[in-house]
Amino acid sequence: FVGLRQQGCGTYALVFRARSRVSGKLVALKRMKLDSQEEGVPTTALREVSLLRQLAGSPHIVQLEDVVWDQRSLYLVME
């Protein structure tokens, strides 16, 4: 992703506007920090991904396009 520009922030995440290097499409990246402990992905993040997948296709809900992670963060790629 290129052109990361912060659009908003909340208690658990930061949201960035970016462009996919592969498709050229504008996306929203929601970055959730992972704890340095060995607990893995936070329950709130798992719940959000699950709900977005269940509600996929609804015209009133942002669409989840992908989930990407590294050692420090989990990224939800959304339309």
**What is the pLDDT, as a whole number, of residue 11?**
87
Domains, the chain, in order of start with CATH, read 2-78 (3.30.200.20)
Cβ neighbours of residue 49 closer than 8 Å, sequence gap 6 or more: 64, 67, 76
Q: What is the pLDDT of residue 40?
A: 75
Q: Could you count the other beta carbons within 10 Å of the beta carbon of residue 12?
A: 13
Q: pLDDT at position 60, please?
A: 94
14 pLDDT above the threshold of 70 = yes
18-75, pLDDT tens digit by residue? 999 999 999 999 999 887 656 778 888 999 999 999 999 999 999 999 999 988 899 9
Instruction: Report pLDDT for 79.
Output: 92
CA angle 77, 52, 60 (to 5 degrees): 100
Which is more confidently placed, 14 or 34?
14
Return the residue matching tokens 């290097």: 21
